[in-house]
Structure 1
Amino acid sequence: MQIDLNTPHLSRRSFIAGLGAAGLTFAAAPALALTEGTAKRLVDGIVGDINQIIASGKSEGAMIRDFERVFVRYADVPTIALYTLGRDGRQASNAQKRAFTQAFQGYIARKYGKRFREFIGGRIEVEGARTVRNSVEVRSTAYLRGDAPFTIDWQVSDRSGSAKFVNMTIEGVNMLLTERSEIGAMLDRRRGNIDQLIADIQRAG
């Protein structure tokens, strides 16, 4: 499946079809030095940090702050954030893009940090990597107490100049496509007002 970061909002049909995708590739991404080994080491780092956080015994608020630091360290946050804005992002000023990216990283940390908090008492294990077009997909498995194991796939790209993760798929649900759909719907309800969207997602998640 190939998605251009500059395309308009995804249709409902495209979004639903995309949820079943195991990975996401970017059109016209420059070929740099990304290898499967490099991508796997990056995800080893992510998973190691997440496992450490969920075993820390910290409060939810402290854990979410730690998850935000992990997201900023390992993810291509500007690319992910601006992709979720879709065509509306092209109309935003540079100041709005920066403000949205800052608000978005906190929103993602709260939203997915609460999900990862469910893993307390469990663990995530990295298994292997495979090249998919211009990126590398790294598969991991989450083991939770009392539940069947499930997969978390990480898409790693070096289009920003260094290896970063740009997407993850949890139990078949594609983060990037889901957030693009949800952020687009939030923006539509605010009649395209990006400043209001920024203010609202600072409290959401």
Structure 2
Amino acid sequence: MPETLIARRPLLASLGLASLGAVGALPARAQAVDANRAAAFIQATGQELVAAINGRAPAAQRREQVAAILRRAVDVEGVGRFILGRYWRQATPEEQQQYMRLFEETLIRNLSARFGEYQGIRFSLGRTQQRTEDDTLVNTIVERPNSAPFTLDWRVGEVGGQPRVVDVIAEGTSLRLTTRSEYSAVISRNGGRVSALLDAMRNQVAQLAAREGR
């Protein structure tokens, strides 16, 4: 039986992703983005998220608003294919399509369920630095009622001419690398079958949906 995916870092595993492009095509490679532009992009995205989370709409509606913002902000296809790594080429076209759908839904649901309940959240920018030729790192500080502030570092690259989030780093740990390791472990422990990962992801989506009461 396939393993059930249990995120060791719920916050990391919850950070969601953008709308899907054509799965069969190569995703656009992230290019360097100006530090000021990257900071402005994250500032605007953060303000949108805070407004949605702190709004007066029912929790389910707030989660949908958060999901919509993230679909615009994050390079889902590039991140998703990076995480699957060498197994992407081993997957059939149908498995690739299923994986991308499940990948988006799992992370969007995780984020929406976790942050949709934290009204009173505040978000502020820290330092910004261009790290590599491909991305700029934007530091943010997130404050929640009755909780210690925490930092999130957003890696921003230019994808298709627009700034997009290509990774998130929390507690010094990369979302892309952590999730890649987790997914690879599920596949390798199940005879190298991508289908085993898809089964585990379906189970996770079902658990998240049940938790949301949907």
- Structure 1: distance between partners of 2:177 and 2:116: 22
- Structure 1: distance between partners of 2:80 and 2:154: 17
Equivalent residue number for residue 167 of structure 1: 167
Equivalent residue number for residue 211 of structure 2: none
CA gap 1:179/1:30 in 2 versus in 1, 3 angstroms? closer
Which structure 1 residue ranges, 4+ long, deviate > 6 Å from structure 2?
none
- The answer as to whether partners of 1:158 and 1:164 remain within 8 angstroms in 2 is yes
Q: Greater shift after overlay, 89-98 or 35-44?
A: 89-98
Count of matched residue pairs:
177
* Residues 102-121 of structure 1 mapped to structure 2, 5 A cutoff: 102-117=101-116, 119-121=118-120
CA deviations over 1:87-146 (Å, ceiling 9, x no partner) = 111212344323211211111112233332453222111234210012100111011222
The Cα of 1:80 is off from its aligned counterpart by 0.7
CA gap 1:118/1:173 in 2 versus in 1, 3 angstroms? farther
- Structure 1: distance between partners of 2:30 and 2:72: 22
Amino acid at match of 1:162: Q
CA deviations over 1:133-188 (Å, ceiling 9, x no partner) = 12100111011222332211100011544321111112333211121122222323
Q: Tell me the percent identity.
A: 23
Equivalent residue number for residue 131 of structure 1: 130
- The answer as to whether partners of 2:75 and 2:159 remain within 8 angstroms in 1 is no
Amino acid at match of 2:103: F
- Structure 2: distance between partners of 1:185 and 1:61: 33
- Structure 2: distance between partners of 1:203 and 1:61: 21
The Cα of 1:191 is off from its aligned counterpart by 3.0
The Cα of 1:83 is off from its aligned counterpart by 1.2
- The answer as to whether partners of 1:54 and 1:117 remain within 8 angstroms in 2 is yes
Task: State the SS of the aligned residue for 2:162.
Answer: coil
CA gap 1:189/1:68 in 2 versus in 1, 3 angstroms? farther
Equivalent residue number for residue 92 of structure 1: 91
Equivalent residue number for residue 155 of structure 2: 155
- The answer as to whether partners of 1:168 and 1:176 remain within 8 angstroms in 2 is yes
* Residues 1-205 of structure 1 mapped to structure 2, 5 A cutoff: 31=31, 34-117=33-116, 119-134=118-133, 135-204=135-204
Q: TM-score, normalised by structure 2?
A: 0.71
Quote the RMSD (CA, aligned, Å).
Answer: 2.5
Amino acid at match of 2:86: R
- The answer as to whether partners of 1:68 and 1:106 remain within 8 angstroms in 2 is no
Q: Any unmatched runs of 5+ in structure 2? A: 1-11, 13-28, 209-214
Q: Any unmatched runs of 5+ in structure 1? A: 1-18, 20-28
